[in-house]
Amino acid sequence: MADIKIQNIVASTSIAKNLNLHEIKKSLKNTSYTPDIFPGLVLRINKPKTAFLLFKSGKVVCTGGKNIEEIREAIKKVGSMLKNAGFKVIEEPKIEVQNIVASGDLHGELNLVSVALALGLEKIEYEPEIFPGMVYRMEEPRVVLLLFGSGKIVCTGARKPGQVTKAMENLRKELKEKGLI
């Protein structure tokens, strides 16, 4: 089995009906807001180490968590920070995972040309002169895998940790059946 480690989870929610980003910038530390460049306010917290994009609509994007519990804890903390600063927030916002990025290791080298031919060129992007990894668009689960000659893998596009595990299992099985690992 490939060693798998979740590196980042991106999740979104609505934390309020609307947010006054200028007032939040004045009220909270660790923020940056330049609306002429980007419409969201960036807020960083240390525990758990995460970053947020807050929008006028009340929508929030959280990134940097390594698991769902960290994401929940971070969103709750930001909600408390806003509430303590006098802003009206939604008490139990519905959190939706948008993307999970994970890394893995097959513990063996891959011949990426052979892998590309075996997996089917219609699912593969491989231009070693431009990028050293091969992009594999897996259909089930629907994720994108970056495969490297070293046997290292990056998985992106999953919305549940189980999809990462399933993708890695499917890849290993497919490569093993084709005699590539």
pLDDT tens, position by position, 78-129:
999 999 999 999 999 999 999 999 999 999 899 999 999 998 889 999 999 9
Asked if the structure places residue 4 within a domain, the reply is no
What is each CA distance from 141 to 33, 41, 156, in whole angstroms? 37, 33, 11
d(CA 52, CA 86): 19
d(CA 146, CA 70): 26
On whether both 23 and 85 belong to a single domain, the answer is yes
Cβ neighbors of 35 (< 8 A, separation 6 or more) are 21
Residue 3 — very low, low, confident or very high, per pLDDT cuts 50/70/90?
Answer: confident
**41 vs 1, which has greater pLDDT?**
41
Report the SS3 class of residue 20. Answer: coil
Q: Give yes or no for a contact between 28 and 81, defined as CB atoms under 8 angstroms apart.
A: yes
Q: Which domain holds residue 70?
A: 11-96
Cα of first residue to Cα of last residue in the chain, in angstroms, is: 12
On whether both 50 and 77 belong to a single domain, the answer is yes
Name the domain count of the chain.
2
Cβ neighbors of 170 (< 8 A, separation 6 or more) are 138, 140, 141
Q: What is the pTM of this model?
A: 0.88
Phi-psi region of 113 (alpha: psi -120 to 50; beta: other; left: phi over 0): alpha
What are 155's strand-pairing partners? 102, 145
Per-residue pLDDT at 181: 84
CATH number of the CATH domain containing 139: 3.30.310.10
| pLDDT, tens digit, 9 for 90 and up, residues 145-159 | 999 999 999 999 999
Per-residue pLDDT at 120: 85
On whether both 92 and 118 belong to a single domain, the answer is no
Write down which residue in 96, 114, 149 finishes a domain: 96
The arithmetic mean of pLDDT across residues 45-63, rounded, is 97
On whether both 16 and 49 belong to a single domain, the answer is yes
Residue 144 — very low, low, confident or very high, per pLDDT cuts 50/70/90?
Answer: very high
**pLDDT over 90, % of the chain:** 91
Q: Give yes or no for a contact between 11 and 96, defined as CB atoms under 8 angstroms apart.
A: yes
Residue 1 has pLDDT above 90, yes or no: no
Residue 2 — very low, low, confident or very high, per pLDDT cuts 50/70/90?
Answer: low
Report the SS3 class of residue 89. Answer: coil
Dihedral sign (CA 19, 21, 24, 29):
positive
